[in-house]
Structure 1
Amino acid sequence: MIPVPSPTTTSPPTAPQNQSPNPADRHSRLASLALALALPTDVVLYLLLPMYSDAFGVSLAGAGVLLAANRLVRIAGYGLVARAYARYGDRLVCTLAVIAAALCAVGYATLSGLWALLPLRLLWGLAFAALNLSTQALATADAAGASRRSGRSRAFIALGPAIALPLAALLAYGYGPRLIFWILAVTAITGVLVTRALPAHPYPAPSGRRGPGRPNSLDMWSFLEGFTLDGLFIIGLSYLGKDLFPGGAVMTAGILLALRYLGEILLSPVGGRLAERFGAERLLLALSLLTCVALMGFGAGWLWSCAAAIVVLRALQLPLLAPIVMRRTPGPERVRALAARSVWRDIGAGTGPLAAGLLLPVLPPFVVYSAPAVFLLWAATCVGRPSVK
């Protein structure tokens, strides 16, 4: 009699170790890499344009307008970008965005004058909006591991600026501020090779009205984070620390900015893993409390120690908002909700430098930084309330 094999010997092998990686992980990495290749065309301009404004044919005030223009167009255009993203998907939208970034870099290398450069800044603002939205949407496409993917995404994105900023500062010393943009144009256009592997499917269109609603706690926290950490803090670091670096050398500024992105590379994945373990809302509240204390110390005169703490805390906080949005706004509304948070952050980051320029010369720094720090903590406590969407 022929023995019948037991079910355990005939069941098909699962071999989980041989399964393909999670598509959400791969797509998130690819979108982040595309933004990492395109982003240096913008951050290097922030470094070089104020210091070499004459070489670009603009005044210092004109440089400020150009650097603010990309945020202003994003405030107005994120809704349009979100609709195009939902209709055409990641592949086409991100491919067009990296091509636009390369064109902008060529323009920075060749054109001069406010009116010649302004259209490029507007074009970059829309390109960044598309790439930024894609990185967040793909990182949160699968609820399992969303915080971890968001942390890794921020680290990948920061690689480009961390490498480009010191290189740009070094080349500017020997060859002027234009040469680096030819290199960045080539770098950005290689992003097409990355975006061709992104998913091409459209996303379900969200229902309901498209107009802006009343800001909720996530909007307020996004605004205040942009206002304090991307606005007041960056301008204050330059304004309050100028006496410590009287030469104002481009290398010093380039290294300091690169260290900010290096912090994201090292710490944003840590923030994502901590959020997976302890919860994104709880971690957001704890980090906001520490940020509040660090901002107060920064305004009180502990400039460099508190600045280092703020850079660390900012890097840890960056991956937290997208997973919170994903859990509170599931389904087709997720892309629109992610875009709304980005709009509020851009509004804060755009108004923060203006407030710093008006207030720092006339008010004690402790007052300037303490008030928004307390409001940031208040907004974080509101985010932690489970009833808020």
Structure 2
Amino acid sequence: MTTTSADRQSRNASLALSLTLPVDVLLYLLLPMYADVFQVSIAEAGILLAANRLVRIVGYSWVVRVCASKGDRFTLSVAAIATVVCSLGYALLSGFWALLPLRMVWGLCFAVLNLSTQALATAEPIGAARRSGRSRAFIALGPVLTLPLGAVIAHQFGPRVVFLLLALIALCALMFTRPLSPASHAPLQPSRRWKLPNALDTWSFLEGLTLDGLFIIGLAYLGKDLMPHDAVLAAGLLMALRYLSEILLGPLGGRMADSFGAERLLVVLSLMTCVALVGFGAGWVWSGAAFIVVLRALQLPLLAPIVARRVPGPGRIQALAARSIWRDIGAGTGPVIAGLLLPIMPSVWIYGVAALLLAWAAIACGRSPHPEPQPGI
């Protein structure tokens, strides 16, 4: 694949994910704040928000095989249509057991979309880090535009109307899946189902636990206590800042990785994130959250080029999926922990312990030998 072709394919896949991702992102914002509207408890909301990630833990191996055999055009088109169905379900259904199947379907949809964007961004080794950074910027466009608008609509008319609009937006993703190549990927080599996690696996798990689990749920939960009347607007704007940071800083993170080394940058940024997490838990909710979203944006482009460099060739798809599984295990556990502990335990202890574990994992990544053995899925 030429560099120009890789850029074009990566851009189209990223924009398809950008248009479907708001269906999930707005649920993270609205479900904890409007749990009564959806007829679920806070604990049930945490489980629902974790369910899409938990299903990917067992479903990624199937997703890898389907993506390899069917090609990006078919799999991403099906994922886009299924996302529309999920969004309509959020608009019309209530109760834990009615929403749970929709979360599981979306989990597989995101697995397809996320794996394809990473695989296409690293399909050509030249410029892989730069392409990964641009991919993150394209993906963030949808959430950064819909989060403030969705927060305003929910504040005025309730959360249901938001998901009706998001269904229409997700349908537009088909415009970007159609130009993708219909060709299947190279056959994948069979691998062992499970291996002990290495340093990058551990970091991926704890990164998902803290930034995609504990932090997002804590932002909605703690923000609601601090600003009970306008919490949905404040949290929506801050979550939009998270994705705006990816647009502005994702490409910068990719260029910094090319210049200074992705592994070294990963360690430095992770340690800075740990400091911000402690401040967030100690009561500096909005300022701590602002630092966290900026640092997260710089870190997002780093993992894919690290994996692609250590596992060149078709095997990188399995390696990328394996890292995504570990992140999803952490991110699926995070909302459950947050839903159970935030009502009964001081937040400084929750986020302080999480920060210490993430710092330990980051330092271990910097000291790990290269290349590391890659786990099978």
TM-score by structure 1 length?
A: 0.88
* Residues 238-253 of structure 1 mapped to structure 2, 5 A cutoff: 238-247=220-229, 249-253=231-235
Contact conserved, 1:71 with 1:350, CA < 8 A, in 2?
A: yes
After TM superposition, give the deviation of residue 242 of structure 1 in Å. 4.3
Per mean C-alpha deviation after superposition, the further-off stretch among 53-62 and 21-30 is: 53-62
Question: What's the counterpart of residue 84 of structure 2?
Answer: 102
Q: Distance in 2 between matches of 1:243 and 1:134?
A: 39
Q: How many corresponding residue pairs? A: 370
1:387 counterpart letter in structure 2: H
Contact conserved, 1:267 with 1:312, CA < 8 A, in 2?
A: yes
Question: What's the counterpart of residue 59 of structure 2?
Answer: 77
Per mean C-alpha deviation after superposition, the further-off stretch among 265-274 and 45-54 is: 45-54
* Residues 1-389 of structure 1 mapped to structure 2, 5 A cutoff: 22-247=4-229, 249-360=231-342, 365-384=347-366, 385-389=368-372
Seen in structure 2, the aligned counterparts of structure 1 residues 371 and 95 have a Cα distance that, compared at 3 Å, is same
After TM superposition, give the deviation of residue 103 of structure 1 in Å. 1.3
Q: Secondary structure of the equivalent of 1:49?
A: helix
Contact conserved, 1:24 with 1:138, CA < 8 A, in 2?
A: yes
1:40 counterpart letter in structure 2: P
Q: Distance in 1 between matches of 2:289 and 2:304?
A: 25
Q: Distance in 2 between matches of 1:355 and 1:108?
A: 23
After TM superposition, give the deviation of residue 378 of structure 1 in Å. 2.6
Seen in structure 2, the aligned counterparts of structure 1 residues 66 and 321 have a Cα distance that, compared at 3 Å, is same
Q: Distance in 1 between matches of 2:51 and 2:357?
A: 27
Q: Distance in 2 between matches of 1:268 and 1:28?
A: 15
1:150-183 CA-partner distances (Å, limit 9, x unpaired): 1111111111111111211222233332222222
Seen in structure 2, the aligned counterparts of structure 1 residues 335 and 248 have a Cα distance that, compared at 3 Å, is same
Seen in structure 2, the aligned counterparts of structure 1 residues 59 and 374 have a Cα distance that, compared at 3 Å, is closer
Question: What's the counterpart of residue 17 of structure 1?
Answer: none
Seen in structure 2, the aligned counterparts of structure 1 residues 63 and 354 have a Cα distance that, compared at 3 Å, is closer
Identify unmatched segments of 5+ residues in structure 1: 1-19
After TM superposition, give the deviation of residue 233 of structure 1 in Å. 2.3
Seen in structure 2, the aligned counterparts of structure 1 residues 353 and 54 have a Cα distance that, compared at 3 Å, is closer
After TM superposition, give the deviation of residue 191 of structure 1 in Å. 1.1
Q: Distance in 2 between matches of 1:184 and 1:234?
A: 20
1:270 counterpart letter in structure 2: L
After TM superposition, give the deviation of residue 357 of structure 1 in Å. 4.3
Q: Distance in 2 between matches of 1:241 and 1:62?
A: 19
After TM superposition, give the deviation of residue 264 of structure 1 in Å. 1.3
After TM superposition, give the deviation of residue 88 of structure 1 in Å. 1.2
1:28-80 CA-partner distances (Å, limit 9, x unpaired): 11110000011111112222223333433444444333222211111111111
Per mean C-alpha deviation after superposition, the further-off stretch among 175-184 and 190-199 is: 175-184
Question: What's the counterpart of residue 11 of structure 1?
Answer: none
Q: Distance in 2 between matches of 1:60 and 1:357?
A: 6
Seen in structure 2, the aligned counterparts of structure 1 residues 181 and 246 have a Cα distance that, compared at 3 Å, is closer
1:221 counterpart letter in structure 2: W
Seen in structure 2, the aligned counterparts of structure 1 residues 105 and 77 have a Cα distance that, compared at 3 Å, is same
Q: Distance in 2 between matches of 1:82 and 1:30?
A: 19
1:355 counterpart letter in structure 2: I
Q: Distance in 2 between matches of 1:55 and 1:216?
A: 42
After TM superposition, give the deviation of residue 338 of structure 1 in Å. 0.6
Identify unmatched segments of 5+ residues in structure 2: 373-377
Question: What's the counterpart of residue 7 of structure 1?
Answer: none
Q: Distance in 2 between matches of 1:65 and 1:375?
A: 23
Seen in structure 2, the aligned counterparts of structure 1 residues 109 and 239 have a Cα distance that, compared at 3 Å, is closer
Q: Distance in 2 between matches of 1:211 and 1:312?
A: 36
Seen in structure 2, the aligned counterparts of structure 1 residues 229 and 151 have a Cα distance that, compared at 3 Å, is same
After TM superposition, give the deviation of residue 387 of structure 1 in Å. 2.7
1:252 counterpart letter in structure 2: A
1:265 counterpart letter in structure 2: I
Compare CA radii of gyration and give the structure with the larger one.
1
Q: Secondary structure of the equivalent of 1:181?
A: helix
Contact conserved, 1:216 with 1:388, CA < 8 A, in 2?
A: no
Q: Percent identity?
A: 64
Contact conserved, 1:217 with 1:388, CA < 8 A, in 2?
A: no
RMSD of equivalent CA atoms: 2.1
After TM superposition, give the deviation of residue 240 of structure 1 in Å. 4.3
Per mean C-alpha deviation after superposition, the further-off stretch among 124-133 and 355-364 is: 355-364
Q: Distance in 2 between matches of 1:355 and 1:193?
A: 38
Per mean C-alpha deviation after superposition, the further-off stretch among 366-375 and 339-348 is: 366-375
